Structure 1
Amino acid sequence: MFAETVRYALYVLLLWIVASLVKSVFIPSPLANIRGPPSTGSWLWGHFKQLFDRQSWQFQHELYNKYGQIVTADGLFGRKLLFVFDPLALHHVLLKDQHIYEETEQLIQMDLQLFGPGLLSVLGDTHRKQRKMLNPVFSIKHMRQMLPIFYQVTDRLRQALNDRVVNGPQAVDMMSWMTRIALELIGEGGLGYSFDPLTTDSANPWGEAMKNLMPSVMPLMPFRIILPFLCKYTSPRLRRWAVGRIPWAPLQKVRGIIDTMDEMSHTIYNAKMSALRKGEEATVQQIGAGNDVMSKLLQANMMASEEDKLPDDQLIAQITTIVFAAMDTTSGVLAHILHMLSEHQEVQERLRQEITEARRENDGEDLSYEQLSELSLLDAVCRETLRMYPPLVFLTRTAVEAAVLPLSTPIEGRDGTLMHEVLVPRGTSVVISILASNRNRALWGPDVDEWKPERWAKLPDAVVDAHIPGVYSHLLTFLGGSRACIGFKFSEMEMKVVLMMLLSNFKLSIPDNLGAPICWNFAGVQWPSVGRTSSTSELPLKLELLEKRL
């Protein structure tokens, strides 16, 4: 039965590939007049290898700066990719016509297999219902309640780093530490669960599974294209039976990680529900005293009407969804900020002075949410790093029906005509170019590729007038529309608390004996290495204990 099902799915896939070949050869694409890089000559790969190479930055820089704010490139199997960073076109993709531009079926199915039916994995009414339930627990009001948790966790990080440099400056892998602190902050603040004591190097199988998820999934990515076919023509039970019998180490590793995450989710969910049923006294005895995101979500769900309630499987799926969405992205941005501050010592010193003065005026006590928000240089450093180095460089949507994208700035077609709008055929892969929008030279000016926090004191009028449809500070880093990052305030608060603690206690700089420069590599989420060829994710920075801890 399984062999017949797989054979049928492969036949369907083969027909789709043949149809794609015929279409690309004999039917001119309506996007053919839009400029883009020269063809590679490969119908199979197109520009895929250049786009997804770990050092694809130069290719992307040319893609976004040579051809205008709407660009085409060749995808797999002769399919055209439409890269969009024109502000008006983005407004239509993310807001006005967002019902037309949906998440790709490949991504939805992959997220569904990894995390279950959580916020990343569902569409339409189910997504709207989940978002409605989750919005209040990520509100600023709730962030204020969670701030003490963040201070407690970051103080443990201070102790751990202090122990490593108490006898003198040391090179410390800050990428590893930022991953650990981001995981623990989302663990305690998001789930009311501790993954990592930080002060000791004890392994937690659930924490290790979350840290290893994306690196382990990467070898499977080329096969993501067949997921929609397999999910449509086979049952979950049959797929699980088959996966368990395929002797391929990368697949079995991901299977083990998914099983571990599933066990974690059920354990946390059952513990939370048990405490809630026992009443408030049992809830406040948990980590975070019931102020974590998951506890608040479950409380809200229990009080919701039957129409609005989420079923158990969707609640359980939010657990791994929340951890995945928060960990790699926040840790990567924090590591990028530390790298920039290590290279810009004058900014690091000014930021330290700002933090020192704020704490002195607050009698040495931890700052409130409002006081944190008033630190202008800290805010500018976070915003500038999020502009320059968004964790996700681009995301793809699929046009579920034909549409027209109007442009704020006309583009010149390959035939020399001036185009004020673009016809987007049904099924087109529309790439939301986050990095290109954040570094749009027409808006931000000629110094767009320079890290300059001071630019946030007075933004160019072109940036303000463009009305970028992002939820955060004229940027697309956290996207916009109904699928914008729901936890961006949570992430912003994490970063500010961690930075305040680090700069109050330590000085960071680039070690003298690295042997090669620190490079950031393109992937699902960017990662640092020493040199361009190393496969080790690390950010070694010289850490020096300040004479007086603030």
Structure 2
Amino acid sequence: MAPQLAHELRSATVVLWSPVGIAISAVVVAAAIFLLQKPHYPSFVNLPGPKPSHLLWGSSLEVIKGVVGGKHTEWFERYGKNVRYTAFCTTQALITSDLTLINHVLKNGYDFAKPRVPARVLNNLLGKGLITAEGAVHRRQRRVLNPAFGPAQIKNLMPEFWNKAYVLDEVWGALIASGGKAQGTDGLKIETLRWFNRFALDVLGTAGMNVELGSMRNVDNELARAYKAMATQDPQITPWIMIEMMFPILRWIPTKRQTVMRTNLAIAKKNSARLLRDKKAAIAKEAAAPAASDADERDLLSLLVRANTSPDVPADQRLTDAEVLAQVGTFLVAGHETTSTTLAFLLERLALNPDVQDKLYAELAAVPDDRPTYDQLSALPYLENCVREVLRLDSPVIAISRVPVEDATLPVGNPVPGRDGKLVDSIQLRKGTQIFMAISHVNASTDLWGPDANKFNPDRHDAGPADKVPGVYGNILSFYGGVRNCIGYRFAVTEMKAAIFVLVRHYRFETLPSQPKMRRRWLFVQRPAVEGEDDVGPQMPLMVRLRHEQ
């Protein structure tokens, strides 16, 4: 009897994990979700939008296929700034580029939470840190973290930004000296995204944790190796990834991607825990004998541990070790992916717009100091405009998803005709209805930036947009806004400026003679890729030439 039962269980397991079994399970779950949904409010049902193109997927497959953000733009042009569409398993969602509505959601940030599925995925990746925390927990974490990210603290980190920028400069110079001269030229094809990943990781090593990761110099560091392995995973969202996110048990199927992520996340967490133990011990020793201590650690982790143990912070408001470790994961994952991608996109924009590159070079070359202060770097207007413009057009995060924690009424900027012809002047949503705020579309809105909004033009930031954007930086939404704005935006902007300052003064950037077709790939962060080279993964190859004007 027992052998027969075991055989039946094995057979059932094989069927369950087969593609047919998974498909049947998905359909059953979809039917259950459909039957359990509460009726939506008429104002939401009345919103215009596309008909679902698939029984199970709704319109989701249209969104993830083709140009990143392309389907969103098509819908906005056809239906207006507030669109209702059918997502996975018949669920109804709102996608919006309405500034009035977006401002309301951002300003009342604690009334709107991350949707359950992406929140769970991010929690598995980062832990219960600032990105995944909600409500009172987020407020408490933010209160402890804020002191580490103020202007004074970023000023103190300038030496780390400059040190790493000049390491990257040295490495690229050596590559050109060997590879370029061997070909009888002063330039070389360099895959810039890979190097920016290493640069950003090394910056976060020293500025974030006071640890030399050495990834730009190919030092064999276990933590750096783990994050480099995760960064090379295909960032393209696929139907299978969407199913994995909906059904967490599927993450245990040993696909190549899951195996790489699980193995290297474990390595990263182990190393982060060791770093935290060492940091706490060093700070405790310093507190016990301050006169004997010569510690001058200005890294983010040291500042965080000190702030967390400050007598000004009540015991019940302090972060647990698990929460501190989650912040380390957030620094490393969210901090280095977004920065490296933005830097790669900026070099591409400069290569495609040589007049912009020349103007930027002229401004940077006129600075007499090789390592200007934070205030001097911040006072360079065209550099500031270039950073704002690449973040406007190439925001690493193209959208923010939120759900109301209770039934909510959302204001709209301009009433629009609904499906029945009546004007929709506000939208009532059920608790848990997904709101998809299209950052990239708002950033490139012709209503805000005029008919040439899709053109890379740093000068446009001298005048600013036609209407105020509720973002924390530069009249764009790339760093969000409201109570959940990106706490590290000053760190990221300053780090990027330091890298561009050094590289543009020393090199000229051009597109490759082969003119590869570039495309965008998107999961949580959009990254560049070459058409037809999916096996290579994310990349931004450019021709990098030594400047002779130096």
What is the TM-score when the length of structure 2 is the normalising length?
Answer: 0.87
Residue in structure 1 matched with residue 61 of structure 2 by the alignment: 49
1:372 pairs, out of 373, 377, 381, with 377
How far did 1:433 drift? 1.2
1:101 pairs, out of 79, 98, 112, with 112
Q: Cα deviations across residues 346-400 of structure 1 (Å, max 9, x unaligned)? A: 110110110111x22xxx3411111111111101111011111111111211122
CA distance in 2 between counterparts of 1:194 and 1:281 reads 27
CA distance in 1 between counterparts of 2:292 and 2:199 reads 27
The 3 A distance-change label for structure 1 pair 197 and 206 is: closer
How far did 1:474 drift? 1.7
2:210 pairs, out of 181, 187, 192, with 192
User: Percent same amino acid at aligned positions?
Assistant: 26
Q: Cα deviations across residues 429-459 of structure 1 (Å, max 9, x unaligned)? A: 1111111211222222211111111111112
How far did 1:533 drift? 5.6
Residue in structure 2 matched with residue 224 of structure 1 by the alignment: 245
How far did 1:546 drift? 1.6
Instruction: Tell me whether 1:342 sits opposite 2:363 in the alignment.
Output: no
CA distance in 2 between counterparts of 1:284 and 1:351 reads 41
2:403 pairs, out of 381, 398, 401, with 398
The 3 A distance-change label for structure 1 pair 25 and 128 is: closer
Residue in structure 1 matched with residue 194 of structure 2 by the alignment: 176
How far did 1:251 drift? 3.1
How far did 1:28 drift? 8.6
Residue in structure 1 matched with residue 224 of structure 2 by the alignment: 207
Q: Which runs of 5+ in 2 are unaligned?
A: 1-8, 17-21
Amino acid corresponding to residue 298 of structure 2 in structure 1: N
Instruction: Tell me whether 1:481 sits opposite 2:493 in the alignment.
Output: no
Deviates more, 1:99-108 or 1:316-325: 99-108
1:521-536 → structure 2 map (5 Å cutoff): 521-531=521-531, 534-536=534-536
CA distance in 2 between counterparts of 1:247 and 1:320 reads 23
1:37 pairs, out of 23, 45, 50, with 50
**Contact 2:67–2:519 (Cα < 8 Å) also in 1:** no
The 3 A distance-change label for structure 1 pair 267 and 31 is: same
**Contact 2:215–2:221 (Cα < 8 Å) also in 1:** no
The 3 A distance-change label for structure 1 pair 162 and 413 is: same
The 3 A distance-change label for structure 1 pair 25 and 404 is: closer
Deviates more, 1:389-398 or 1:407-416: 407-416
CA distance in 2 between counterparts of 1:67 and 1:284 reads 63
**Contact 2:30–2:56 (Cα < 8 Å) also in 1:** no
How far did 1:248 drift? 4.3
How far did 1:201 drift? 2.6
- Aligned residue for 1:479, secondary structure, equals coil
Instruction: Tell me whether 1:18 sits opposite 2:37 in the alignment.
Output: no
Residue in structure 2 matched with residue 471 of structure 1 by the alignment: 472
**Contact 2:396–2:527 (Cα < 8 Å) also in 1:** no
- Aligned residue for 2:386, secondary structure, equals helix
Q: Cα deviations across residues 164-219 of structure 1 (Å, max 9, x unaligned)? A: 11232111111111111111111111111122252x33343322322333637866
Computed over aligned residues only, the root mean square deviation of the Cα atoms, in angstroms, reads 2.7
**Contact 2:115–2:432 (Cα < 8 Å) also in 1:** no
CA distance in 1 between counterparts of 2:393 and 2:443 reads 7
Residue in structure 2 matched with residue 520 of structure 1 by the alignment: 520
The 3 A distance-change label for structure 1 pair 495 and 398 is: same
The 3 A distance-change label for structure 1 pair 29 and 416 is: closer
How far did 1:282 drift? 8.9
How far did 1:416 drift? 2.0
Deviates more, 1:374-383 or 1:404-413: 404-413
Residue in structure 1 matched with residue 6 of structure 2 by the alignment: none
1:5-404 → structure 2 map (5 Å cutoff): 17-22=30-35, 31-40=44-53, 42-53=54-65, 55-96=67-108, 98-166=109-177, 167=181, 168-198=186-216, 200-213=217-230, 215=233, 220-227=241-248, 243=252, 247-279=254-286, 289-303=296-310, 304-357=313-366, 359-360=367-368, 364-404=369-409
**Contact 1:276–1:283 (Cα < 8 Å) also in 2:** no
How far did 1:249 drift? 4.0
CA distance in 2 between counterparts of 1:44 and 1:291 reads 51
CA distance in 2 between counterparts of 1:281 and 1:295 reads 18
How far did 1:157 drift? 0.8
Deviates more, 1:481-490 or 1:56-65: 56-65
**Contact 2:464–2:475 (Cα < 8 Å) also in 1:** no
CA distance in 1 between counterparts of 2:529 and 2:234 reads 18
**Contact 2:189–2:542 (Cα < 8 Å) also in 1:** yes
Q: Cα deviations across residues 440-481 of structure 1 (Å, max 9, x unaligned)? A: 222222111111111111124x223xxx22111221111112
Amino acid corresponding to residue 496 of structure 2 in structure 1: M
- Aligned residue for 1:72, secondary structure, equals strand
Q: Which runs of 5+ in 1 are unaligned?
A: 231-238
Residue in structure 2 matched with residue 410 of structure 1 by the alignment: 415
**Contact 1:276–1:282 (Cα < 8 Å) also in 2:** no
The 3 A distance-change label for structure 1 pair 55 and 14 is: closer
What is the TM-score when the length of structure 1 is the normalising length?
Answer: 0.87
Amino acid corresponding to residue 341 of structure 2 in structure 1: G
- Aligned residue for 2:302, secondary structure, equals helix
- Aligned residue for 1:463, secondary structure, equals coil
The 3 A distance-change label for structure 1 pair 38 and 370 is: same
The 3 A distance-change label for structure 1 pair 202 and 54 is: farther
- Aligned residue for 1:333, secondary structure, equals helix
Q: Cα deviations across residues 96-132 of structure 1 (Å, max 9, x unaligned)? A: 3x33321112222222222222112222211111100
**Contact 1:130–1:310 (Cα < 8 Å) also in 2:** yes
Amino acid corresponding to residue 398 of structure 1 in structure 2: V
Deviates more, 1:448-457 or 1:337-346: 448-457
How far did 1:38 drift? 3.5
CA distance in 1 between counterparts of 2:480 and 2:254 reads 39
Amino acid corresponding to residue 490 of structure 1 in structure 2: F
Instruction: Tell me whether 1:448 sits opposite 2:453 in the alignment.
Output: yes
Amino acid corresponding to residue 281 of structure 2 in structure 1: S
CA distance in 2 between counterparts of 1:107 and 1:477 reads 18
**Contact 2:337–2:525 (Cα < 8 Å) also in 1:** yes
Residue in structure 2 matched with residue 497 of structure 1 by the alignment: 498
How far did 1:532 drift? 5.4
